Amino acid sequence: MIITRFAPSPTGNFHMGSLRTAIYNYLYAKKNKGKFLLRIEDTDKERSNKIYEDEILKIFDIFNLQYDNLIYQSKNLSIHQEFLEKLVSTDLAYQSEDGPYKFRVNKDSDYFKYEDLILGEVKIPSNTIEDFSIARSDKTPTFILSNLIDDDFENVTNVIRGNDHTINTVKQKMLSNALNFKEIHYAHIPLIHDIKGKKLSKRDNITNVEDYLNDGYLATSIFNFIIKLGNNFNDIEFLNIDEAVKSFNLSKTTLSPAKFDIEKLNFINQYYLKELSFSDFNKYLEKDVKNQVSSFKLEPIYKDILERCHKYTEINFEVVKLYDFFKKNLVLEIDKNEKDLIKKIHTIINNLHDNDNTLSILEKNGLPLKKIGKIIRKITVNFESKIPIEKIFIFFGIENIKERLLLYIND
Ligand code: GLU
């Protein structure tokens, strides 16, 4: 059975690159009807922080990445140390003069090689790899040792991770052979670059997943955007998590770095915003906005609001633009022509009800949209909202519109 895992170190915020790694491991496991594990690599007590652990779990929850098992690496410390003893006692490792324990690299052959599921054959000249640390002087294991032992212990068959780990993989392969571990298949995915082609760095770019979520991007949009960085998913434009499982093909991962194009994310986000159900839309409304808008009909026009939003954080603003002027009951200055027009509109709609097709009745009476649009938009939303006139009638309701027209007629 295929077993994959995501193994974050809780030493910093959860970033976009890690999210992609987590998802690829998840998709690969599900595609192969295997298991997906989450292992929090919390052995570095000084740098690990519970806040970051919680952030990982929260993001897994938001993105619906269900794991079969949750493991905390620090619980395995005694096992790591047993293996360290074993390596030292068989002279495969030794304590160096300056303290750390090092693995003795065997340089009998000119190259170290292994088959990577994405990169193909990885071949590194032996003279470029020196004996490497596997534990500190206090016998706490380094990443290279603990990560490998846990993978073996949990019967992990496949590891998908960023290609900044390629040299670590070569080292772990050496260790794995020395310890007679089962073979693990590694796949290294290209790093993510910014639009200018530079490595996406925590310092120069916003890379935290939470920042994007808070900034107004939906999880579905982020999911779609991030999975496409480096893999084309059969060119299917919008996928949910189950569709992504079906069309995921790890071997089609590109070798060149993927470009983080925020415009693409904006485009995807706009698409998914328009797909929101009314009840999901409501979840984004602030309490006060909900109260204010309750006397009008939002449901039939909420998609028009979403058409005007690039981020969910803009929803409230767009709704406010609709009702704010109306609620103030202000009477704007109008000229004689406008007043005549309002009178004519009022005469016609005075006998109409909400279910009547107001716009076509007005048109039949010589008042087509192009004649009345401007004045209706002026006295209802004061040009603040660009929502179609037809939707303005629906949102406020014909009775409210009649009253509003009357305000301008009675003098
Ligand atoms: N804890 C390591 C990291 O966060 C795990 C790398 C791996 O997937 O093996 O980089």
Q: What is the pLDDT of residues 32-61, one digit of tens each?
A: 999 999 999 999 888 999 999 999 999 999
- The CA dihedral of 259, 263, 267, 270, to the nearest 10 degrees, is 130
Contacts of 238 (CB under 8 A, 6+ apart): 224, 268, 271, 272
Share of the chain above pLDDT 90, in %: 93
**Residue 165 half-sphere exposure toward CB, CA atoms < 13 A:** 19
Find out if CATH 3.30.1950.10 is the number for domain 3-193.
no
- Amino acid residing at 367: L
Atom of ligand 1 nearest to the CA of 41: 1
Q: What pLDDT, on a 0 to 100 scale, did the predictor assign at position 45?
A: 86
User: From ligand 1's centre to the CA of 9, what distance in Å?
Assistant: 7
Of 13, 161, 166, which is best to mutate to test ligand 1, by the most ligand atoms within 8 angstroms of its C-beta?
161
Q: What pLDDT, on a 0 to 100 scale, did the predictor assign at position 64?
A: 97
pLDDT in tens, 115-137: 999 999 999 999 999 999 999 99
Residue 369 has phi, psi (to 5 degrees) of -50, -40
Answer for the pair 253, 190: CB distance below 8 angstroms, yes or no.
yes
- Is the CB of 150 within 6 Å of ligand 1? no
User: From ligand 1's centre to the CA of 254, what distance in Å?
Assistant: 21
Q: What pLDDT, on a 0 to 100 scale, did the predictor assign at position 199?
A: 82
User: From ligand 1's centre to the CA of 179, what distance in Å?
Assistant: 20
Of 20, 39, 56, 147, which is best to mutate to test ligand 1, by the most ligand atoms within 8 angstroms of its C-beta?
147
For residues 159 and 317, give the distance between their C-alpha atoms in angstroms, rounded to a whole number.
45
User: From ligand 1's centre to the CA of 16, what distance in Å?
Assistant: 14
- Is the CB of 301 within 6 Å of ligand 1? no
Nearest CA to ligand 1 atom 4: 8
Segments of the chain assigned to CATH 3.40.50.620: 3-193
Inform me whether the pLDDT recorded for 183 exceeds 70: yes
User: From ligand 1's centre to the CA of 309, what distance in Å?
Assistant: 37
| Tokens at 231, concatenated | 């893999």
Q: What pLDDT, on a 0 to 100 scale, did the predictor assign at position 410?
A: 76
Task: Quote the DSSP letter at residue 4.
Answer: E
Q: What pLDDT, on a 0 to 100 scale, did the predictor assign at position 204?
A: 67
For residues 66 and 245, give the distance between their C-alpha atoms in angstroms, rounded to a whole number.
13
- Is the CB of 228 within 6 Å of ligand 1? no
Q: What is the mean pLDDT of residues 151-165?
A: 97
Share of the chain above pLDDT 70, in %: 99
Q: pLDDT-based confidence at 206, cuts 50/70/90?
A: confident
Q: What pLDDT, on a 0 to 100 scale, did the predictor assign at position 198?
A: 84
Inform me whether the pLDDT recorded for 411 exceeds 90: no
